[in-house]
A and B are shown apart, each in its own frame.
Chain A
Amino acid sequence: MSAGAQRLDVTVAEVVDVNPLIKRFRFVRTGGGALPTFSGGSHIVVDMDDAGTRRLNPYSLMSDPGQTDSYMISVRRDDNGRGGSLYMHRSVRPGMQMQIGWPVNLFPSDLRAKKHLMIAGGIGITPFLAQMAQLDRIGGRFELHYAARNRTLGAYMDELQTRYGARVQTYLDEEGQAMDLKGLLTSQPFGTHLYVCGPKPMIGWVLDTARTLGWPEGALHSEEFLAPPVGQPFEVELARSGKTIRVGAAQSLLEALEAAGVDAPYLCRGGACGQCETDVCEADGTFEHNDHWLSDAEKASGRKIMPCVSRFRGARLVIDR
């Protein structure tokens, strides 16, 4: 069984409307006791039973890593998504019992850094909430630059400014406040590490600008959870388990494997960690590679697929599961 697949039984202790798009959930251990410790930047996978459909979505832990009596996540409602966030918004109530995976950190603070420069867009703020709480406690030097559409949607902006003062800078798109990224990236002390989490175009803009300005690759960190894209249903033959399964339009290949009772590894379920990498035995058709893991050459080779986010169109696909 894969590490992230180890389950914890939790009870929903609190559901809070943060703004029109975002709800915050607090989980405590069912039956009491402390939850496993985690480091800032970790995520958990929440197991949902959505009227018979099992959904497993990753969410960053936003609560203070120093507190293990409960975990908090924030979920942004995606009306055009596959339904996980809508389920969290509509069906999850205080007192409900659920299962979550153990925390996994694919976006840790590099504690050797002299300073941590964090750039967040929208709901991408969540991993930084935990990182800042952790760094603040150990006396780490950090600075957050946080952009959102407007103040209503800039979740936690006010609290953060109250708590961290000038270490938090906010930018509201609708008020025409733009980040002077170039100025920011050229004025950072030697030994600074850069962290960015938010929408894909923002991550690309920040990382490309940093590279152009001579930031070394090892000082750049980013996290983006891809939701598995919807697509055409397709069939897959599983060489090892001898089954043939059908992947539904709103289902990922990984979810289809799980639904068929096949134990497939995963950690992030968002195309970032590499854990689910699977060998392709035979393929006659076109891959829709949606991950950030495989190299372009590996994607072109047709020998590998990341079942958490990638799909296939064609006559026949056989994978090594």
Chain B
Amino acid sequence: MSLSYEGTIPSRPRYGQLTPRPGSGHLFVADGEGADAILALFAGPGAKGMLATTQIVYMPGPTGTDKSAELEKLGADIFFRAPDYSTAQPRLKRLFGSAHMGLQLYLTGTEGLIGQAQRDAIEAGLPHTAMQTEHRGSTVRRVQCVHCKGITENVRTDPFVCSHCGLNLFVRDHYSRRLAAFQGVNIDAEDPGQVPPQVERFA
């Protein structure tokens, strides 16, 4: 699944491609197909020597992709598998709290994963431009309802029903770095019940 940036707005995050960078250590945070980006980086030039100082925190993707076995075989200094981001989060926060400047951060996989890891790194004091990101896999979105503030994970359709307050929400490209979420706005506020058919926009 690849993302298209066509016709979007400036606040919509954009992603690049992971490349090895010099540093005292390397922390990869990935979910699902993000594993492929890590494998590709280590298959390329300039990365072999990094393995001894590499740590990988990995979780399966929202569509169930789990490439733990392949990643573990890579031979990084530390490989850690978590069931999901909220389980991995305390470990990441502890890592950020004890790490030193020079540690390189590589985030890859779904936008929800990248955004949340980025938010936690920014909270740890890192500039938002400091981490490398590469989108891989599912395009499902993490969306915050602007009305009840509840966050719905893995949104596939547009519009969708808020999992907290039940409003019909239209998925915008407007993105909050602080929340690591896109914005969802009620679509039938004027004419309750007038909801356009749901379209599978994210897969």
Which residues does chain A contribute within 8 Å of B100, judged by CB atoms?
186-190
Chain A 175-208 against B: per-residue CB contact (8 Å), 1 yes, 0 no?
0000000000111111111100000000000000
Q: Is the interface on chain B under 10, 10 to 19, 20 to 34, or 35 or more residues? A: 20 to 34
A32: Cβ under 8 A from any B Cβ:
no
Chain B 74-115 against A: per-residue CB contact (8 Å), 1 yes, 0 no?
000000000000000000000011111111100000000000
Which residues does chain B contribute within 8 Å of A186, judged by CB atoms?
24, 100-102
From known contacts A190-B96, A213-B24, A214-B22, infer whether A219 and B127 are also in contact, taking CB-CB under 8 Å. yes
B122: Cβ under 8 A from any A Cβ:
yes
Chain B 121-138 against A: per-residue CB contact (8 Å), 1 yes, 0 no?
010111111100000000
From known contacts A213-B23, A214-B24, infer whether A219 and B126 are also in contact, taking CB-CB under 8 Å. yes
A93: Cβ under 8 A from any B Cβ:
no
| Complex: chain A residue closest to B23, CB-CB | A214
| Complex: chain B residue closest to A194, CB-CB | B101
A115: Cβ under 8 A from any B Cβ:
yes
Distance A190 CA – B127 CA, assembled complex (angstroms): 11
From known contacts A114-B124, A212-B22, infer whether A190 and B129 are also in contact, taking CB-CB under 8 Å. no
Which residues does chain B contribute within 8 Å of A115, judged by CB atoms?
125
Which residues does chain A contribute within 8 Å of B98, judged by CB atoms?
190
Which residues does chain B contribute within 8 Å of A193, judged by CB atoms?
125, 127
Chain B 4-26 against A: per-residue CB contact (8 Å), 1 yes, 0 no?
00000000000000000111100
| Complex: chain B residue closest to A213, CB-CB | B102
Contact A190 B24, beta carbon cutoff 8 Å: no
From known contacts A190-B99, A190-B100, infer whether A217 and B129 are also in contact, taking CB-CB under 8 Å. yes
Contact B101 A185, beta carbon cutoff 8 Å: yes
Distance A191 CA – B22 CA, assembled complex (angstroms): 17
Which residues does chain A contribute within 8 Å of B96, judged by CB atoms?
190-191
Contact A185 B102, beta carbon cutoff 8 Å: yes
A216: Cβ under 8 A from any B Cβ:
yes
A87: Cβ under 8 A from any B Cβ:
no
From known contacts A212-B22, A216-B130, infer whether A191 and B124 are also in contact, taking CB-CB under 8 Å. yes
Considering only residues 276-298 of chain A, those with a C-beta below 8 Å from chain B are none
Interface residues contributed by chain A, number (CB under 8 Å): 23
A240: Cβ under 8 A from any B Cβ:
no
A218: Cβ under 8 A from any B Cβ:
yes
Distance A194 CA – B100 CA, assembled complex (angstroms): 13
Partner of A191, one of B102, B104, B126, B129: B126
A215: Cβ under 8 A from any B Cβ:
yes
A211 to chain B, nearest CB (A): 8
Contact B22 A219, beta carbon cutoff 8 Å: no
Considering only residues 163-178 of chain B, those with a C-beta below 8 Å from chain A are none
Contact B125 A190, beta carbon cutoff 8 Å: yes
Considering only residues 242-300 of chain A, those with a C-beta below 8 Å from chain B are none
Chain B 116-153 against A: per-residue CB contact (8 Å), 1 yes, 0 no?
00000010111111100000000000000000000000
Question: Taking each of B101, B103, B122, which has the highest tally of chain A beta carbons within 10 Å of its own beta carbon?
Answer: B101
Distance A185 CA – B98 CA, assembled complex (angstroms): 15
A112: Cβ under 8 A from any B Cβ:
yes
Contact A188 B125, beta carbon cutoff 8 Å: no
A56: Cβ under 8 A from any B Cβ:
no
Which residues does chain A contribute within 8 Å of B126, judged by CB atoms?
190-191, 216, 219
B18 to chain A, nearest CB (A): 15
| Complex: chain A residue closest to B128, CB-CB | A218
A113: Cβ under 8 A from any B Cβ:
yes
Which residues does chain B contribute within 8 Å of A188, judged by CB atoms?
100-101
Interface residues of A (CB under 8 A from B): 110, 112-115, 185-194, 212-219
Shortest Cβ-Cβ A-B pairs, 4 listed: A191-B125, A218-B127, A214-B23, A216-B130
In addition to A191-B125, A193-B125, A214-B103, 9 A-B residue pairs with Cβ atoms within 8 Å of each other are A186-B102, A187-B100, A189-B99, A191-B126, A192-B125, A194-B101, A218-B127, A218-B128, A219-B126
